[in-house]
Amino acid sequence: MARGFTEEGVNKHMSTYLVTGGAGFIGSHACQTLLKEGHHVRVLDNFSTGKRERLFPGIELFEADITNLEAIRPAFEGIDGVFHFAALPRIVYSIEHPIETMQANVMGTLNVLVAARDAKVSRLVYSASSSAYGDQKVLPLRPDMPAHPLNPYALHKYVGELLCEEFSRLYGLSTVCLRYFNVYGPRMADEGAYVTVIAIFRRQRAAGLPMTIHGDGGQTRDFTHVTDVVRANILAMNSGKVGNGEVLNVGAGEQHSVNEIAQLIGGPIAYLSPRVNEARDTLADTTLTKELLGWEPNIKFVDGLKMLLEEK
Ligand SMILES: NC(=O)c1ccc[n+]([C@@H]2O[C@H](COP(=O)([O-])OP(=O)(O)OC[C@H]3O[C@@H](n4cnc5c(N)ncnc54)[C@H](O)[C@@H]3O)[C@@H](O)[C@H]2O)c1
């Protein structure tokens, strides 16, 4: 059991957490929540896609690149747990630059695992991706289905899961992998692999342009609110039932088509050629996540989208 945890998996103590990629979209939300809970937060980031203005007061910054093991080792000193968000989440970029993205997503993750192991941190929570599923014959997607990554980024994220499991098995480092399904919310990316149609449509509507849809718009995604993702991370850090590289889905368990989102936002639509190398549909089965973490999604998509559209 990780340091400071009770039998029920509750962390009673103030802890010091390392958040890799803490200047990014999801990482910055995690930092905000951890700070609110009274923990000490150290961010490890190289600001490749992250932004300095997302570093909240009270955060300790360790600026370095996870591809350099010796440079990042000191960031792990005195750390209780690691939330590993840092990655280059760019599908098209990963197809064009398979080496650079492999360095950050796979070698970077390996370096983080080695540094965490050597610093004897209590647990590492890895940000995995639903893209590991690729196209499957049946929905909803369950972690026991064979992975079928359709692009380099998806493959990198999947290899990260295998590395986590290996570090738990070989070296006794406590790890858990959370496969997020299309995360949305304040500060979400407006470019990259996870630029959701929501962000694109909002940008297009603000500019008075039609909303562009690739293909017939019947493709579906399971959109998950960032606060639900952060809650899953904190539960995963504290649960007494995980720690051996378990792979758990973090998705809202709702399917929404791109056409449906365009209708909810409202406005003219322009249809473009379909995208390849991406799954047609995603939908999370979160039975195991509930069983092992006690996590269930709290925010329904219609409510989360409404909150986002009302935001200035
Ligand atoms: N956003 C989603 O829908 C989604 C879905 C599934 C999985 N994920 C995973 O969640 C994690 C966070 O995603 P996000 O959407 O917040 O992305 P993001 O791009 O906003 O954040 C990534 C952060 O990692 C940092 N980073 C990148 N390469 C680095 C390096 N070599 N060294 C140090 N820091 C580095 C960036 O500067 C940035 O702050 C990623 O691991 C991503 O693969 C995201």
The sign of the CA dihedral 155, 157, 163, 164 is negative
| 303: exposed, middle or buried (Cβ count in 10 Å: 0-12, 13-18, 19+) | exposed
Testing ligand 1's pocket by substitution, the residue of 85, 112, 228 carrying the most ligand atoms inside 8 A of its CB is 85
Give the CB-side neighbour count of residue 126, counting CA atoms within 13 A: 36
pLDDT of residue 73: 98
pLDDT of residue 192: 59
Token pair 């496969």 is at which residue? 179
pLDDT of residue 1: 43
Q: 15 Cβ partners below 8 Å, 6+ apart?
A: 4, 39, 40, 80, 81
| Pocket lined around ligand 1, Cβ cut-off 6 Å | 21, 23-27, 45-50, 65-67, 85-89, 104, 108, 127, 129, 157, 180, 182-183, 189, 194
Q: What is the mean pLDDT of each run of 10 residues along the chain (312 residues)?
A: 49 86 98 98 97 97 98 98 96 92 98 98 98 94 97 97 98 98 90 73 92 93 97 98 98 95 93 84 97 97 91 68
Q: 280 Cβ partners below 8 Å, 6+ apart?
A: 135, 219, 220
Ligand 1 geometric centre to CA of 194 (Å): 9
Overall fold of domain 16-181+224-252+283-298: Rossmann fold (3.40.50)
**Contact indicator for 244, 175 with CB cutoff of 8 Å:** yes
Rounded to an integer, what distance in angstroms lies between the CA atom of residue 124 and that of residue 167?
10
Give the CB-side neighbour count of residue 137, counting CA atoms within 13 A: 2
Measured by CA distance, the residue closest to atom 32 of ligand 1 is: 65
Q: 227 Cβ partners below 8 Å, 6+ apart?
A: 29, 33, 185, 298, 299
**Domain residue ranges of the chain, discontinuous segments joined by +:** 16-181+224-252+283-298
A 10 A CB-CB count for 101 gives 25
Name the nearest CA neighbour of 76 among 160, 23, 27, 17. 17
